[in-house]
Structure 1
């Protein structure tokens, strides 16, 4: 369930909003004059969402490459190449 707070709470009850963001791991929606204005979230949640966006972008690029017929290697081959690189260092 989304947490919605008026902008005055951001000024008057910042610690409470911060606590909600950290405990619930959910964003808090801030309204101004009854309309949505801001979203406040913990740094951990922001970083998690950014990592997911990055992953989805990379998966999308991989799908495009796969559909274009680019050559692929198996998981076993990839792991073997990575082990060789690590062992050479």
Structure 2
């Protein structure tokens, strides 16, 4: 179940929010009735970002070891061709 709390609870009821987050659930914080941020455990955050970090590391390695360079237009023209072929 989604946990939505006012941002003031982060200050006033920190231990409650911390216990929810430690269980692995994100807590969505609102300010004046509008969403403002999400609180996650470090473990949950890592699960979200590890694959992105790994992919960026791979592309950095490939770029360092390949002299081929493409312009913005070449990249997006290739993407458009692949999308239109489907």
TM-score range, shorter chain: 0.5 to 0.7
Partner of 2:31: 32
Residues of 2 paired with 1:52 and 1:37: CA distance?
Answer: 25
SS at match of 1:30: strand
- Mark the runs of 5 or more structure 1 residues left unpaired by the alignment: 63-89
Q: What is the root-mean-square deviation of aligned Cα atoms in Å?
A: 2.1
Give the Cα–Cα distance (whole angstroms) in 2 for the partners of residues 34 and 52 of structure 1. Answer: 33
Max Rg structure? 1
| TM-score normalised by length of structure 2 | 0.58
Q: Which runs of 5+ in 2 are unaligned?
A: 60-86
Residues 11 and 21 of structure 1: CA distance in aligned 2, closer, same or farther (over 3 Å):
same
Determine the structure 1 residue equivalent to 2:45. 46
Tell me the number of residue pairs that the alignment of Structure 1 and Structure 2 aligns: 59
